[in-house]
């Protein structure tokens, strides 16, 4: 049985991520969407929130599970018996980083291969950071994320706003 992991930050999961996970789920017997708990970037949602939103978004796919992980991606892949790391490519700008990561991971774990799936055309422009920026200023993200994620974004920015008012600095949401 070929197990694949689809690692990422998923802060939050978008329709672009769902498209990649759905397509990967038809290529591999078991796909684990692996939510990295502490990336080197600012997060809006906690690990639990990101796992729960991804789980809800992918619940119709019987061979897909969602799990949080920390530390090296290849170490996590080995721990679950995965031989494949799935990543998504939107544009040429994604390629350089993915290429570098794939080669690094190959050096660390030669038995694990990276498979990059090309985004579907309608999701080329979609990223979690763009969605957060739109939601932060009250824009509508309904066509870009599942309903429960749109709701969570609204609630999150509402609570951040009312918690700390103008003191909240949500300036570096870019991924
Ligand atoms: P990371 O911090 O590891 O880049 P992300 O959650 O931003 O985590 O993305 C996880 C993976 O999904 C990456 O390979 C990214 O290129 C891919 N991805 C993100 N958005 C899209 C999209 N709209 N279409 C295809 N792939 C995407």
Q: pLDDT of 8-21, one tens digit each?
A: 999 999 999 999 99
pTM above 0.85, yes or no: yes
Please give the distance, rounded to the nearest whole angstrom, from the Cα atom of residue 137 to the centre of ligand 1.
Answer: 23
Closest-CA residue, ligand 1 atom 17, reads 88
Task: Pick from 32-41, 69-78, 164-173 the range whose average pLDDT is largest.
Answer: 69-78
Q: Tell me the CATH number at 44.
A: 3.40.50.620
> Does residue 79 lie in a domain region?
yes
Domain housing 31 = 3-124
Please give the distance, rounded to the nearest whole angstrom, from the Cα atom of residue 127 to the centre of ligand 1.
Answer: 7
Tell which atom from ligand 1 comes closest to the C-alpha of 11: 6
Catalytic (active-site) positions:
17, 41, 90, 128
Which of 69, 57, 60, 68 minimizes the C-alpha distance to 26? 60
> Does residue 94 lie in a domain region?
yes
Distance CA 102, CA 125 (A): 23
> Does residue 139 lie in a domain region?
no
| 104, containing H or E segment | helix 92-108
**Cβ-Cβ contacts under 8 Å for 13 (sequence gap 6 or more):** 50, 53, 54, 57, 58, 128, 145, 146, 149
| 34, containing H or E segment | strand 30-36
Name the domain count of the chain. 1
> Does residue 164 lie in a domain region?
no
Please give the distance, rounded to the nearest whole angstrom, from the Cα atom of residue 165 to the centre of ligand 1.
Answer: 31
pLDDT for position 59: 98
pLDDT at 171 over 50: no
> Does residue 116 lie in a domain region?
yes
Closest-CA residue, ligand 1 atom 16, reads 88
Q: What is the pLDDT of residues 51-76, one digit of tens each?
A: 999 999 999 999 999 999 999 999 99
Distance CA 169, CA 103 (A): 36
Q: What is the pLDDT of residues 113-130, one digit of tens each?
A: 999 999 999 999 999 999
What average pLDDT does the segment 70-98 reach?
95
User: Is residue 61 exposed (0-12), middle (13-18) or buried (19+ Cβ within 10 Å)?
Assistant: middle
Closest-CA residue, ligand 1 atom 10, reads 8
């Amino acid at each position: 049985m070929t197990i694949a992991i689809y690692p990422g930050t998923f802060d939050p999961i978008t329709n672009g991520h769902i498209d990649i996970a759905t397509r990967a789920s038809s290529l591999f017997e078991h796909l684990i969407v692996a939510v990295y708990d502490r990336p080197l970037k600012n997060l809006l949602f906690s690990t639990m929130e990101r796992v729960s939103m991804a789980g809800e978004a992918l619940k119709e796919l019987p061979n897909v599970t969602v799990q949080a992980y920390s530390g090296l991606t290849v170490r996590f892949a080995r721990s679950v018996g995965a031989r494949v790391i799935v990543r998504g490519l939107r544009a040429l700008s994604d390629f350089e980083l993915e290429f570098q990561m794939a080669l690094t991971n190959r050096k660390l774990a030669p038995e694990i291969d990276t498979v990059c799936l090309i985004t579907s055309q309608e999701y080329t422009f979609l990223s979690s950071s763009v969605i957060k920026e739109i939601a932060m200023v009250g824009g509508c993200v309904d066509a870009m994320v599942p309903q429960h994620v749109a709701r969570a974004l609204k609630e999150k920015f509402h609570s951040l706003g009312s918690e700390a008012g103008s003191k909240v600095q949500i300036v570096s949401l870019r991924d």
